[in-house]
Amino acid sequence: MSETFAPYQKLLARMREVALVGSTGSMLSWDQETYMPPKAIDYRAEQLAFLSGWAHRQFTASDVGGWLEACEAHAFAPNSVEAVNVREWRRQYDRQARLPVALVEAMERARVLGREAWVQARKASVFETFRPHLETILDLNRQMAEHWGYEDSPYDALLEEYEPGVRASALKPLFAELRREIMAILPGAVAWSESTPADLLQGEYPEAAQQAFNREVAAAFGFDFEAGRIDTTTHPFCTGLGPRDCRITTRYDEKDFTQSLYGVMHETGHGLYEQGLLEEHYGTPLGSAVSLGMHESQSRFWENHIGRHPTFWERWHEAACSHFPGLRRLTPDHIGRAVSRVTPSFIRVEADEVTYDLHIILRFEVEVKLVEGQLSARDVPAYWNENFREMFGLEVPNDRMGCLQDIHWSMGSLGYFPTYTLGNLNSAQLFAAMHKAEPDLEAQLRRGSYEALLHWLRSRVHHQGCRLRPPELMVFATGQTTQAEFHVRHLRRKFLGG
Amino acid sequence: MSETFAPYQKLLARMREVALVGSTGSMLSWDQETYMPPKAIDYRAEQLAFLSGWAHRQFTASDVGGWLEACEAHAFAPNSVEAVNVREWRRQYDRQARLPVALVEAMERARVLGREAWVQARKASVFETFRPHLETILDLNRQMAEHWGYEDSPYDALLEEYEPGVRASALKPLFAELRREIMAILPGAVAWSESTPADLLQGEYPEAAQQAFNREVAAAFGFDFEAGRIDTTTHPFCTGLGPRDCRITTRYDEKDFTQSLYGVMHETGHGLYEQGLLEEHYGTPLGSAVSLGMHESQSRFWENHIGRHPTFWERWHEAACSHFPGLRRLTPDHIGRAVSRVTPSFIRVEADEVTYDLHIILRFEVEVKLVEGQLSARDVPAYWNENFREMFGLEVPNDRMGCLQDIHWSMGSLGYFPTYTLGNLNSAQLFAAMHKAEPDLEAQLRRGSYEALLHWLRSRVHHQGCRLRPPELMVFATGQTTQAEFHVRHLRRKFLGG
């Protein structure tokens, strides 16, 4: 970073300012989800629209274009800090510069209002309350896709925002293959689960005790509570508000501690990625997560490959009993089977490891059809319910349990969902590679010793920031690009015994 | 507001933007006090410095000067919305335009770091930890005073920020008189208190029960919880984060519910002022509180004139008992005497109605001497302890109980303290005027019916915003400018029986 090429320094200063205003907006959004009084919503929408408009103008100002050109003409060493940042800034600049300020601000407003309408709609299970907001969001997303441009489908232009380089035409066969494999595994996985009653873990788990246990687990995974916290929201999330400020949220069910616990493990995975980014590169691509699919690989890693590993409850049973004495009646193996129980169900975030991706595949289909104009917002509930029946063999009882369950569309995000499945595939692939590198991995997990794992993820993924693009990062970390086979093999081994 | 004079509209748009960024900064500060993880402090300081620098530049830009001149040359009707806003913007502009951006940003940084150092210093009761920060803050305040200019004392230039038009030379005799009167009342007030044991109310008051009762009282006073909330901090405060977003904080002692309860009543008074400002004028002087002394008059009104009124516990005893069954052993009169008990003590925010202003008078003396260079930061503890002994007859055991107890200096505020005593005087004067206007005031209080009182305050104070300057506003509301006699008469009647 001793580089003193003036245009680069100007670019860096500008981008750090943009990141600072962006993180301020994230702070306002976090507050909106956690503590903001309801009547404050309109002014909060104004604030967010203003900040995002300001950041957009600063990011896309013509001087930025000039600095980028000067940097591109300059001979930065390949793969140097400067070369990587300039490459990514150029990509982002080209995308953002194509969006008119009015569209960016309209999107920000639609997000805030849409989010609030979704909360109400979901509460009352009335899709109609949310429909006009979905229409606005869809319309704005299509406008954005037109500004960005695409080859095959406007959906690709949206997807590019979350998972650079991935195309719907590539996801379709991958998801079709995954669907076939899951369908083949599902009956055996359900059979594996049948010896464990669905209500085995039902009991009394006071919220305060859950909070204490969750913190213990998150801290053991490596989450730094001096640089982060856990709050309560309807829809769990993780957000980085600065180089040492990462906030996780979860929700509690006092009859079932596993919802909040596995939610916290998941968000802790995201949080460890955020906390593992290099602080000296904060506000630049080198200090930023590379994609949502890679982010999700981290959450799924800790939630499924660690938290649902056969040895997990050997390590944590005693600690859990000190918070929840009722668990003494069960063996670690009982609990392990209960938290891995497979059964088709309605809610994505509560879905098991096997059926989870079926939820994503359904949303992916809905999104593509919405964006490509083959489905109208009005028809989403009917389409959802019909296809859900086909995939899961279940009748959706209401929209709250169906198409209103997720926050994403209300936040303006279309093209986000597929990254969840990419995350699942990546997490299994990373775990397999780590296992190869650490032959005594199972012994470490049995001891609850997570330092070596975290160190592996830090050096292979977190510290890399955007140095490599997602496919090359997977090659760097695991030896090959994202494959389905590791996830499928993980499921077969776990549920079919080989 | 149908005025379409272009320079005024431009000014208005700019000022609303400045207010929006200012309220965003307030949101970050609120988070810093309530929920922010400790390691986030450095980046938070950067964020606040950036936002405040930006707002300062926008507020003091040369185009603002031009618009102001155009507006001043325009014939706005006297006392019209436009005339009032232009008058106040001019006053603020002249003050702010004189400060260099670097000084404003340095002050913002010093505030954030000073606040954090103060928390640590207070915790450890080590003044030395805070001293260098106080020196920086003092130095920056003096620089500001030089930029602003003054006639007699640099202290006046600082005071002007909090209580426009008030001068140290006017406060000195007023405070000397008040001190004499308080000293005359004090022995009788202490005697009045002696029949009530100091630990009469000591008991078990779970935090959750206190929170529930506090909310009931605040809601009865008129606080809108859909547009506000109560959180927990070391030092209670109230902050307006937007037209419908007012946040109060308090702290809890599970052995003594009165600390949090009277703290909440106090902050609710501030909150009712904020919630009573006219929303359509948000971000302009007409929709802003007129001064800290007037703000404090509102908090003191609800805390002391309502919450410590002899009838208060007749209305609230039963409600309190449903949260704190232990209070059934006491009569309303017992509780009323206990919460009004007078006894010299160390902590300002826990002080009784009689000795409270002695705490302020001491701080005022320290501040004036610091700013005028007659006292160095290093000598504050010794000066404090010596003078405290003289005024209160008590030996300060440590700095935590002495000069480190208040947050204000750590937040960069010098010249703020005298507004507390102005608030006390104003609150008594407002109560007396209201009593004249509402002869059955006591019956209303006995019933716990606060609507008419709040309505009176809304129309006489809250809705006025900055239409009138503080002295004229007191004339408008009560018939005369701020006097000491109403407060003194209130104390004499309450504690000496006439």
Predicted confidence (pLDDT) at residue A13 exceeds the cutoff of 70: yes
Angle at B98 between CA B93 and CA B104, to 5 degrees: 95
For residues B296 and B251, give the distance between their C-alpha atoms in angstroms, rounded to a whole number.
19
What is the least distance, in Å, from the CA of A86 to any CA of chain B? 24
In a domain, A1, yes or no: no
Mean pLDDT in residue range A399-411: 96
**Residue B492 burial (C-beta neighbours within 10 Å; 0-12, 13-18, 19+):** middle
A51/B24 Cβ within 8 A: yes
Q: Do A135 and A195 share a domain, yes or no? A: no
What is the DSSP secondary structure assignment for residue A234, as one 8-state letter? S
B50 contacts in A (CB within 8 Å)? 17, 20-21
What is the least distance, in Å, from the CA of A174 to any CA of chain B? 41
B35 contacts in A (CB within 8 Å)? 35, 229, 231
Give the pLDDT band of residue A165 (cuts 50, 70, 90): confident
Q: Judge whether B187 and B494 are in contact, CB under 8 Å.
A: no
B20 contacts in A (CB within 8 Å)? 46-47, 50
- Between β-strands B228-232 and B238-242, what pairing exists: parallel, antiparallel or unpaired? unpaired
- For residue range A444-458, what is the model confidence (pLDDT) as tens digits? 999 999 999 999 999
Predicted confidence (pLDDT) at residue B1 exceeds the cutoff of 50: no
What is the least distance, in Å, from the CA of B416 to any CA of chain A? 29
For residues A336 and A195, give the distance between their C-alpha atoms in angstroms, rounded to a whole number.
13
Closest residue to A40, CB basis, from B31, B44, B242: B242
Predicted confidence (pLDDT) at residue B96 exceeds the cutoff of 80: yes
A226 contacts in B (CB within 8 Å)? 37-39
B29 contacts in A (CB within 8 Å)? none
Q: Do A293 and A192 share a domain, yes or no? A: yes
Q: Do A359 and A259 share a domain, yes or no? A: yes
Q: Judge whether A427 and A353 are in contact, CB under 8 Å.
A: no
A267, amino acid identity: E
B38/A47 Cβ within 8 A: no
A231/B43 Cβ within 8 A: no
Tokens 């971000």 — which residue? B283
What is the DSSP secondary structure assignment for residue B327, as one 8-state letter? G
What is the least distance, in Å, from the CA of A454 to any CA of chain B? 21
Instruction: Write down the pTM of the prediction.
Output: 0.89
Q: Do B147 and B228 share a domain, yes or no? A: no
Check residue B471 and give its pLDDT: 86
Predicted confidence (pLDDT) at residue B322 exceeds the cutoff of 80: yes
Domain boundary (B94, B129, B157) is at B157
Q: Do B230 and B302 share a domain, yes or no? A: yes
Complex confidence, ipTM: 0.89
Tokens of A451: 């330092």
Query: Hey, of B245, B249, B279, B281, which one would you mutate to test binding to chain A, going by the most A CBs within 10 A of its CB?
Result: B245
Check residue A424 and give its pLDDT: 98
Numbered residues of chain B with Cβ closer than 8 Å to any chain A Cβ: 17, 20-21, 23-24, 27-28, 31, 35-40, 42-44, 46-47, 50-51, 224-229, 231, 241-245, 282
Report how many Cβ contacts below 8 Å link chain A to chain B: 92
Query: Hey, of B18, B23, B31, B233, which one would you mutate to test binding to chain A, going by the most A CBs within 10 A of its CB?
Result: B31
Query: Hey, of B29, B105, B241, which one would you mutate to test binding to chain A, going by the most A CBs within 10 A of its CB?
Result: B241
Tokens of A209: 């005790």
Q: Do B153 and B217 share a domain, yes or no? A: no
Mean pLDDT in residue range A226-249: 95
What is the least distance, in Å, from the CA of B109 to any CA of chain A? 15
Q: What is the mean pLDDT of chain B?
A: 95
Residue A240's beta-bridge partner residues?
Answer: A246
Residue B309: name the closest of B331, B281, B332 by CA.
B332
Closest residue to A39, CB basis, from B28, B47, B226: B226
Check residue A12 and give its pLDDT: 97
- For residue range B35-90, what is the model confidence (pLDDT) as tens digits? 999 999 999 999 999 998 899 899 999 999 999 999 999 989 998 999 999 999 99
Closest residue to B245, CB basis, from A37, A228, A282: A37
Question: B387-396: b or e for each residue (b if 16 or more CB lie within 10 Å)?
Answer: ebeebbeeeb
Catalytic residue among A33, A267, A274, A365: A267
A245 contacts in B (CB within 8 Å)? 36-37, 39-40, 43-44
Q: Do A93 and A224 share a domain, yes or no? A: no
A224/B50 Cβ within 8 A: no
B37/A225 Cβ within 8 A: yes
In a domain, A224, yes or no: yes
For residues A420 and A422, give the distance between their C-alpha atoms in angstroms, rounded to a whole number.
5
Domain boundary (B111, B133, B157) is at B157
Q: Do A356 and A466 share a domain, yes or no? A: yes
CATH number at residue B208: 1.10.1370.30
In a domain, A115, yes or no: yes
Predicted confidence (pLDDT) at residue B5 exceeds the cutoff of 50: yes
Tokens of A236: 């769990």
Q: Is B267 annotated in the active site?
A: yes
In a domain, A225, yes or no: yes
A225/B40 Cβ within 8 A: no
Check residue A3 and give its pLDDT: 56
Check residue B2 and give its pLDDT: 47
For residues A280 and A285, give the distance between their C-alpha atoms in angstroms, rounded to a whole number.
11
Domain boundary (B157, B184, B202) is at B157
Predicted confidence (pLDDT) at residue B3 exceeds the cutoff of 70: no
In a domain, A446, yes or no: yes
B244/A42 Cβ within 8 A: yes
- For residue range A354-386, what is the model confidence (pLDDT) as tens digits? 999 999 999 999 999 999 999 999 999 999 999
Give the pLDDT band of residue A2 (cuts 50, 70, 90): very low
In a domain, B1, yes or no: no
Q: Do A184 and A231 share a domain, yes or no? A: yes
For residues B87 and B109, give the distance between their C-alpha atoms in angstroms, rounded to a whole number.
30
Q: Do B367 and B300 share a domain, yes or no? A: yes
At residue A239, φ and ψ (nearest 5 deg) are -140, 135
In a domain, A163, yes or no: no
Query: Hey, of B23, B24, B230, which one would you mutate to test binding to chain A, going by the most A CBs within 10 A of its CB?
Result: B24
For residue B99, give its domain range.
Answer: 6-157
Q: Do A73 and A186 share a domain, yes or no? A: no
Q: Judge whether B45 and B59 are in contact, CB under 8 Å.
A: no
Kindly identify which residue of chain A lies nearest to residue B244, measuring between CA atoms: A40
What is the least distance, in Å, from the CA of A254 to any CA of chain B? 18
Closest residue to A27, CB basis, from B20, B28, B226: B28
Predicted confidence (pLDDT) at residue B104 exceeds the cutoff of 90: no
Tokens 């049948």 — which residue? A194
Q: Do B60 and B147 share a domain, yes or no? A: yes
Closest residue to B46, CB basis, from A20, A37, A40: A20
- For residue range B159-200, what is the model confidence (pLDDT) as tens digits? 999 998 889 998 999 899 999 999 999 999 999 999 999 999
Catalytic residue among B160, B161, B163, B267: B267
What is the least distance, in Å, from the CA of B460 to any CA of chain A? 25
- Please count the structural domains in chain B: 2
In a domain, A27, yes or no: yes
Give the pLDDT band of residue A350 (cuts 50, 70, 90): confident
Query: Hey, of B35, B224, B277, which one would you mutate to test binding to chain A, going by the most A CBs within 10 A of its CB?
Result: B35
